[in-house]
A and B are shown apart, each in its own frame.
Chain A
Amino acid sequence: MIRTSGLVKYYGRVMALQGLDMTVPPGAIYGFIGQNGAGKTTTLRILAGLLLPDGGAAEIAGYDVVRHPRAVRGVVGYMPDFFGVYDDLRVGEYLLFYAAAYGIRGQRAARLRDDLLELVELGDKRDAFVDTLSRGMQQRLCLARSLIHDPQVLLLDEPASGLDPLARVEMREILKELCRLGKTIIISSHILSELADLCTHIGMVTAGRIIRQGLLHEVLAAAHRRNFIVRCYGSLVPALAVLEAWPGVEIINATEEQVEFSLSNGPAQAAALLREMISSGAAVTHFAETQQSLEDTFLQLAREGGEA
């Protein structure tokens, strides 16, 4: 659905995108993750047709963003990270205005307005002035606006920024509903955990390059180092000896009570390691995997990407 190849963008002499390759399959919710300044907003603005790339190519639903900007606008709904609303318009008028700007008029526009306000749970606010809405409501209204022309692709730049937890949950539910409706969605964020239970796919961007992308669980599994904690009854020395000799083990922390280590291999190796420890005479009372946070995974990936 969306493909970029070798996307390059300069701001003056700063290279914001250094050959970004991104592939988003149809129907995916693609989490676009990176730190501030990594190039997320630049990429989304290029895809929305608001910026011209200095090199490379980008294609949405078969249309090249440079050569067919008009067609791209028809299939893309874009919600920027910072946006404003016309404070002198009512909610309904606001949506009708954008509907007309997309060439939708009359009965169809009115029906769309009502359906979309229902979808983003603002049905009862139709006649309220836009500036009386809360931040979360304005965010949802802006989402409704980006859906007014029934786009196949949604580009959401930090849609959850500035929202309270309840509003985030509401936003998440709406996005899941949109995914069920068959939309392809790109959501950018600098907080991985915010997206982890929402996205089907993920792309991690650092310094203008995608360092890893694919299905969420595959990316995480590939990047994941399993961390374990071992506790023994009595001395830890035999267990430590086994660990130090075992390939792929990295001891993170060893105290008198427990050893924390990471294992780069799969669960079969973990089982073999435990067997070896017991047979070497260690009285193991506790052998458990600790959950590595998504943020740690991301930071680790970012480090690896930076080194590469």
Chain B
Amino acid sequence: MSRERDRTDHTAGPPGPAGSGQTTRWHRREWLKAFLWNQWEGLRNGLVPMLGKEMRGRTRGLRSPLLLSFYLGLMSAGTVAFLWLMTDRTSQIMPQVGLNLYSLLVLGMILLLAFIAPAIAAGAISGERERRTYDLLLVTRASLTGIVLGKWLASVAYLLFLVLAALPVLAVVFLFGGVPLSNMGMALVVALTTGLGYGALGLALSAILRRSQAATIVSLVLVFMLVFGSLVVAGVVSAGRQPAGDMPVPVGEPWQSVPGPPWYVYLSPLTALSPALPGTEGEGLAMSGRIPLVGTLLNEIMREFQMDPASAYARKMSYAYGVYPGTNPGSPGVPPPERGWGALPPWSRFALCQGILAVISLAVSILVIAPRKPWSVWLVSRRARARGQGGIPL
């Protein structure tokens, strides 16, 4: 069946001469069916075996247990150290200990995932080149999309495994209470989308740079820049835009919107994380002082780049560093409902950005590994047509 359909290659166009309108329609339909079937077959032939092989390979050997031990060890050590510090000082457990511990754990988990994801994916394609298994893969009936998606999903599956493995550590928080389940779900979504986006970025670099070592280093640097650098840039840019000098606070004036934060701050999971942590909803990051770790960490990074008057202005506008849009305090009326981008909560803005990053990265990977680039196939075919060799020229 599949071989019969293969005779109609999608690059060949509808087969046969078009006798009548009906025949042409029939040809088109058949061609479309064959094209879709070929795409589906190629995707399945690439994705299924690649996913199986990668997952099998990843869980074999010493590397996986070592990585898992390192990751869980760090999280557990962080938890124990935090609890030890908190209880030792006061000899009684404060109610916000649970929340603080939760913030610390989620922040730690996501930062670890943000750096583990690209490191795992960075060897995926360059490793095939280095092991010289790349050509063997390309001559099969698996499509490039299937191969790349298989590699990506395998690394994502491994990350999911890491996230699930960390759940028991996170569950310590329930001893203290105070964290709603929905909030934890949100944190897990941020963790997973972090892995999806940065994993795809690592994969693209693996395809572009051809050497695993280079791809790993560059992807780690890039992820570092996305996680922290985007916030720093946002800080610098918003500092530049704020008027120097204390502005009068427009109390009592009708509601007016404050410019939203630049889109690129949502490339950092820290931005998404801040409202995903309890106690920060509806507040700017600068105000999230109640969560000591996340709040002060982010604030300190930002404060470095912001002049004091501007910072004061921003605080009065209840709007800090362009991270969370606010309203003028005390202004009458209800703010108009936000639409589109503005209506999305920060964690879903982050998820959207990661989705776009993943799609672009995967498309780049596929194009880079294609042995026959679409445009060169088109050029060669055009040259053949120009020579009057329309059909098979032999």
> A residues engaging B (CB < 8 A)?
3, 5, 45, 48-55, 57, 59, 62, 64, 66-71, 73-74, 76, 78, 80, 82-89, 93, 96-98, 100-103, 142, 145, 149
Chain A CB within 8 A of B142 CB: yes
Which of B11, B139, B377, B380 has the most CB atoms of chain A within a 10 A radius of its CB?
A: B139
Measured between C-beta atoms, what is the minimum distance from B239 to chain A in Å? 49
Instruction: Give Cα A74–Cα B48 distance, bound, in whole angstroms.
Output: 19
Residue pair A83, B139 in contact (C-beta under 8 Å): no
CB-based closest 10 A-B pairs: A100-B49, A84-B132, A84-B131, A101-B140, A88-B57, A57-B393, A101-B142, A64-B392, A68-B9, A71-B6
Q: Which residues of B contact A83 (CB under 8 A)?
A: 132-133, 135-136
Task: Across the interface, name the chain A residue whose C-beta is closest to B6.
Answer: A71
Instruction: Give Cα A88–Cα B57 distance, bound, in whole angstroms.
Output: 5
Residue pair B132, A102 in contact (C-beta under 8 Å): no
Which of B46, B381, B394 has the most CB atoms of chain A within a 10 A radius of its CB?
A: B394
Find B141's partner among A45, A50, A67, A103 (CB 8 Å cutoff).
A103
Instruction: Give Cα A55–Cα B379 distance, bound, in whole angstroms.
Output: 11
Residue pair A68, B380 in contact (C-beta under 8 Å): no
Chain A CB within 8 A of B137 CB: yes
Residue pair B140, A102 in contact (C-beta under 8 Å): yes
Task: Across the interface, name the chain B residue whose C-beta is closest to A157.
Answer: B135
Find B394's partner among A50, A59, A71, A84 (CB 8 Å cutoff).
A59
Please encode chain B, from 30 to 71, with 1 for each CB lying within 8 Å of some chain A CB and 0 for all others.
000000001001101110111011001100110000000000
Measured between C-beta atoms, what is the minimum distance from B112 to chain A in Å? 24
Measured between C-beta atoms, what is the minimum distance from B158 to chain A in Å? 14
Measured between C-beta atoms, what is the minimum distance from B130 to chain A in Å? 8
Residue pair B384, A57 in contact (C-beta under 8 Å): yes
Task: Across the interface, name the chain B residue whose C-beta is closest to A80.
Answer: B135
Main SS of chain B's interface residues?
helix
Contacts A51-B371, A52-B376; A67 near B392 (Cβ below 8 A): yes
Task: Across the interface, name the chain A residue whose C-beta is closest to B379.
Answer: A52
Instruction: Give Cα A142–Cα B376 distance, bound, in whole angstroms.
Output: 30
Contacts A55-B383, A59-B392; A67 near B12 (Cβ below 8 A): yes
Q: Which residues of A contact B48 (CB under 8 A)?
A: 100
Contacts A50-B371, A97-B52; A70 near B135 (Cβ below 8 A): no
A sample of 9 cross-chain residue pairs with beta-carbon separation below 8 angstroms, ordered by A number, consists of A50-B139, A51-B371, A52-B380, A67-B12, A70-B38, A71-B6, A78-B139, A88-B57, A102-B140
Q: Which residues of A contact B217 (CB under 8 A)?
A: none
Measured between C-beta atoms, what is the minimum distance from A4 to chain B in Å? 8
Measured between C-beta atoms, what is the minimum distance from B208 to chain A in Å? 19
Q: Which residues of B contact A93 (CB under 8 A)?
A: 53, 56
Measured between C-beta atoms, what is the minimum distance from A61 to chain B in Å? 11
Residue pair A101, B61 in contact (C-beta under 8 Å): no
Chain A CB within 8 A of B3 CB: yes
Contacts A55-B383, A66-B377, A69-B9; A86 near B133 (Cβ below 8 A): yes
Task: Across the interface, name the chain A residue whose C-beta is closest to B13.
Answer: A67
Q: Which residues of B contact A53 (CB under 8 A)?
A: 380
Q: Which residues of B contact A54 (CB under 8 A)?
A: 380
Please encode chain B, from 2 to 19, with 1 for each CB lying within 8 Å of some chain A CB and 0 for all others.
110011010110000000
Residue pair B393, A71 in contact (C-beta under 8 Å): no
Residue pair B392, A102 in contact (C-beta under 8 Å): no
Measured between C-beta atoms, what is the minimum distance from B187 to chain A in Å? 33
Find B6's partner among A70, A86, A87 (CB 8 Å cutoff).
A70
Measured between C-beta atoms, what is the minimum distance from B241 to chain A in Å? 49
Task: Across the interface, name the chain A residue whose C-beta is closest to B387.
Answer: A55
Task: Across the interface, name the chain A residue whose C-beta is closest to B392.
Answer: A64
Residue pair A73, B9 in contact (C-beta under 8 Å): no
Residue pair B3, A52 in contact (C-beta under 8 Å): no
Contacts A70-B38, A103-B41; A48 near B9 (Cβ below 8 A): no
Q: Which residues of B contact A86 (CB under 8 A)?
A: 53, 57, 131, 133
Chain A CB within 8 A of B83 CB: no
Contacts A53-B380, A57-B384, A70-B9; A101 near B45 (Cβ below 8 A): yes
Residue pair A68, B372 in contact (C-beta under 8 Å): no
Find B61's partner among A64, A71, A88 (CB 8 Å cutoff).
A88
Residue pair B53, A74 in contact (C-beta under 8 Å): no
Task: Across the interface, name the chain B residue whose C-beta is closest to A85.
Answer: B133
Q: Which residues of B contact A69 (CB under 8 A)?
A: 9, 11, 372
Instruction: Give Cα A62–Cα B9 distance, bound, in whole angstroms.
Output: 13
Residue pair A73, B139 in contact (C-beta under 8 Å): yes
Q: What 9 new A-B contacts, CB under 8 Å, besides A74-B6, A78-B136?
A: A51-B372, A57-B384, A59-B394, A68-B9, A68-B12, A84-B131, A89-B53, A103-B2, A103-B141
Q: Which residues of B contact A145 (CB under 8 A)?
A: 136
Residue pair A67, B381 in contact (C-beta under 8 Å): yes
Which of B2, B12, B136, B381 has the most CB atoms of chain A within a 10 A radius of its CB?
A: B136
Contacts A51-B371, A74-B6, A89-B56; A101 near B141 (Cβ below 8 A): yes
Residue pair B133, A71 in contact (C-beta under 8 Å): no
Q: Which residues of A contact B50 (CB under 8 A)?
A: 101
Q: Which residues of B contact A89 (CB under 8 A)?
A: 53, 56-57
Which of A59, A80, A142 has the most CB atoms of chain B within a 10 A radius of its CB?
A: A80
Please encode chain B, from 189 to 204, with 1 for each CB lying within 8 Å of some chain A CB and 0 for all others.
0000000000000000
Contacts A50-B371, A52-B380, A93-B56; A102 near B141 (Cβ below 8 A): yes
Chain A CB within 8 A of B389 CB: yes
Contacts A67-B381, A89-B56; A73 near B135 (Cβ below 8 A): no
